[in-house]
Amino acid sequence: MVGAGSWGTTFAKVLADGGAEVTLWARRPEVAHEIREAHRNSDYLPGVNLPPLVTATSDLGAALADAEQVFVSIPSQSLRENLEAMRPLLPSAVPVVSLMKGVEKSTGLRMSEVLEIGLGLDADRVAVASGPNLALEIAKEQPTAAVVSSSSLETAEAVAMVARNRYFRSFVNTDVIGTEFGGVLKNLVAVAIGIVDGVGYGENTKASIITRGLVEMTDFAVAYGAHPETLSGLAGLGDLIATCGSPLSRNNTAGRLLGQGYGYADVVAQMHQTAEGLASLAPVLALAAEKNVDMPICRQVEQVLAGTLDPKDIAPHLTTDDSEPVGERTTDARQTQGRSRLRRTIERALDQLRHGGRSAGGDR
């Protein structure tokens, strides 16, 4: 496991509780020492005991030596700088799994793409795992589920087999784009919900934004080739509900601070853990513009971050243009939607034929 923050450490526990021997790589020797000697990571998971099958090192080579599967859980914006060191140390032919939920700011690439390029891997060796997975709840062994996705079903199943225990169930699919973008995009909606919480608005506002947020997530991901059912699954709707509903979410927390009137710099200074949504917002909006996908909620979050929108003006009566409510599309828009829905239905049918009657999307 590359990364010993809250998620890397928790996922190491998930794997170990399923019977795997796990070596965590921590960049700080003192973190590795505490995990090795005291079976704790008090910086990130206070009060949680780690199983004996989890050990740790700050030597990347020692962590990767003889690994049968490699999981990566560091902040998305720091992935690229770590790959050069990882590349010569990576055992050949093992799956590499991204647990990260961001896109690279400078390129707009998903984390699986950065792994493929930076480590020189075939897509079939790369998998992503995503779902409603708030680390602290899982570290306390509260039951949940996730999706492991790879363009190779065999790779996804091999990883899911290991990432499974009495409180953690892994489903599989081959819709990497949908699974990965689900995790990225729910963070942006969670920031919006945090802003709403911070302002003091109630459940109607939040439900409207969550529901419309899911539409934005689906429109965006489908425009990039995702299957819409993946966005209704654990990696989309599931994670959206968990992240928007929990004060444990760092994205939600960052939003709440913005809603309470703190500026972007203050929020970043107050966050001691990774809030991926803040860095993913700009590249996601750039990608959305490339495909003509309207993302009014994300745009409003961007304006709040930039200080050009008063947080209390964030609202579900969002418009696609100055006059048009988001959900009530014009006839033209409906016709375009109808056409793209037909195209998606045909693509799905073809995809099902390719996958022996099963769609690549959805959680299985």
Ligand X SMILES: NC(=O)C1=CN([C@@H]2O[C@H](COP(=O)(O)OP(=O)(O)OC[C@H]3O[C@@H](n4cnc5c(N)ncnc54)[C@H](OP(=O)(O)O)[C@@H]3O)[C@@H](O)[C@H]2O)C=CC1
Contacts to ligand 13P by CB under 6 A: 101, 132-134, 187, 190, 239, 242-243, 249-252, 276
The one of ligand X, ligand 13P, none whose footprint includes residue 239, by CB under 5 to 8 A per kind, is: ligand 13P
Annotated binding-site residue? 206: no
The one of ligand X, ligand 13P, none whose footprint includes residue 102, by CB under 5 to 8 A per kind, is: ligand X
Annotated binding-site residue? 92: no
Annotated binding-site residue? 186: yes
34 vs 175 by CB, closer to ligand X:
34
Question: Which stretches of the chain bind ligand X, using CB under 6 A?
Answer: 3-8, 26-28, 31, 44, 73-76, 78, 82, 99-102, 133-135, 273-274, 276
Residues 6+ apart with CB under 8 A from 101: 76, 111, 130, 183, 184, 186, 187, 276
The one of ligand X, ligand 13P, none whose footprint includes residue 11, by CB under 5 to 8 A per kind, is: none
Closest CA to 317 of 237, 214, 218, 204: 204
Q: Look at the block and give the residue holding tokens 């363009």.
A: 151
Exposed/middle/buried for residue 193 (C-beta within 10 Å: 0-12, 13-18, 19+): buried
CB 292 within 8 A of CB 286: no
Annotated binding-site residue? 356: no
Q: How far is CA 89 from the centre of its chain?
A: 26
The one of ligand 13P, ligand X, none whose footprint includes residue 245, by CB under 5 to 8 A per kind, is: none
Annotated binding-site residue? 224: no
The one of ligand 13P, ligand X, none whose footprint includes residue 220, by CB under 5 to 8 A per kind, is: none
67 vs 298 by CB, closer to ligand 13P:
298
**DSSP for residue 65:** T
Compute the least distance from the CB of residue 111 to ligand 13P, in Å: 13
Annotated binding-site residue? 105: no
A 10 A CB-CB count for 301 gives 28
Q: How far is CA 123 from the centre of its chain?
A: 18
Compute the least distance from the CB of residue 44 to ligand X, in Å: 5
The two three-digit tokens of residue 166, written as one number: 């009495």
6 vs 208 by CB, closer to ligand X:
6
Count how many residues are written for the chain: 364
Residues 6+ apart with CB under 8 A from 267: 254, 257, 258, 278
125 vs 250 by CB, closer to ligand 13P:
250
Catalytic residues: 186
Strand, helix or coil for residue 77 = helix
Compute the least distance from the CB of residue 6 to ligand 13P, in Å: 8
The one of ligand 13P, ligand X, none whose footprint includes residue 278, by CB under 5 to 8 A per kind, is: none
Compute the least distance from the CB of residue 245 to ligand 13P, in Å: 11
Closest CA to 180 of 101, 123, 274, 116: 101
Annotated binding-site residue? 251: yes
Compute the least distance from the CB of residue 242 to ligand 13P, in Å: 5
Q: Which residue is nearest to ligand X (CB)?
A: 5
The two three-digit tokens of residue 118, written as one number: 């930076």
Helices (H), 122-263: 135-139, 153-162, 176-199, 203-223, 228-231, 239-245, 250-259
63 vs 100 by CB, closer to ligand 13P:
100
Strand, helix or coil for residue 139 = helix
List residues forming the annotated binding site: 3-8, 27-28, 44, 101, 131, 135, 186, 239, 249-251, 276
List residues forming the annotated binding site for NAD(+): 3-8, 135, 250
List residues forming the annotated binding site for sn-glycerol 3-phosphate: 101, 131, 186, 239, 249-251
